[in-house]
Amino acid sequence: MPQMTSDKPHMEEAIWDGKEAREIIDLHATRKGGLMEALHGLQHAFGYIPAESYDLLANAFNLSRAEVYGVKSFYHDFTSAPAGQHIIQICQAESCQARGSRALTQHAEEMLGITLGQTSHDGHFTLQAVYCLGNCAVSPNITLDGKAHGRVSEDRFDMLFKKVAP
C-alpha cells in the first residue's frame, strides 16, 4: 500500500523555475481576473501551484500571501503538489453523494493510504475530488487517468485499482 504523504511537492519532474513563473504572472498581472489566469498558467506549467509562487503572485496582484493562498485553496483545480502517475478523481457532487460517493471515497482513501487532494509518497497515485462529471445517471462516478467510470462500487473500485497498482 502506498504511504501517506504531506501536501508538499516531491516529484522530480516538477522543477521550480522562478523566471518562468514570473513570466506567466507578468502576462496576467494587469488583466481583470488576472489572478485566476495566472494560477491556471502556473498549474499548467508546473502541474501544481508551487508555494514559491505565492509571494510573486501577492506582489503582482497587490494581495497578501494569505489572500493568494485563500483563492488557490478555494478552487479544486489548483493543487499544492505535482500529480502522481495515476490520477483518480471521485465525484463529490450531489447525485454521486446520494449514491454512496462518500463511502466510496473513504474506501479509496483507505486503499491508497492517502486522503483527497494528496499524492502517495511513491508518486504513483493522486486522489482528487471532482464536482459533477455530467454522468449523474450512473452515479457514483470516478475517473481514472481521465477515463470516466460509472456505478462504481467498492468492488469495482478495487478492480480498477488493481489495473494500475504498482
133 binds ligand FES per the rule CB under 6 A: yes
Of 76-105, which residues contact ligand FES (CB under 6 A)? 91, 93-96
Residue 53 vs 92, nearer CB to ligand FES: 92
User: Would you list the DSSP string of 69-90?
Assistant: HHHHHH-TT--SS---SEEEEE
Of 22-51, which residues contact ligand FES (CB under 6 A)? none
User: Would you list the DSSP string of 32-64?
Assistant: TTHHHHHHHHHHHHHSS--TTHHHHHHHHTT--
Number of residues that bind ligand FES (CB under 6 A): 11
Residue 75 vs 131, nearer CB to ligand FES: 131
Span of 48-56, 60-68, 106-114, 130-138 interacting with ligand FES by CB under 6 A: 130-138
Cis ω before 140 (30° cut-off from 0): yes
For residues 131 and 21, the answer to whether their CB atoms sit within 8 Å is no
132 binds ligand FES per the rule CB under 6 A: yes
CA 2, CA 41: separation in Å to the nearest integer? Answer: 30
Residue 58 vs 136, nearer CB to ligand FES: 136
For residues 142 and 149, the answer to whether their CB atoms sit within 8 Å is yes
For residues 1 and 113, the answer to whether their CB atoms sit within 8 Å is yes
Residue 93 vs 114, nearer CB to ligand FES: 93
Span of 21-29, 52-60, 73-81, 134-142 interacting with ligand FES by CB under 6 A: 134-142
CA 70, CA 94: separation in Å to the nearest integer? Answer: 24
Residue 25 vs 96, nearer CB to ligand FES: 96
Q: Which residues bind ligand FES (CB under 6 A)?
A: 91, 93-96, 132-133, 135-136, 139, 141
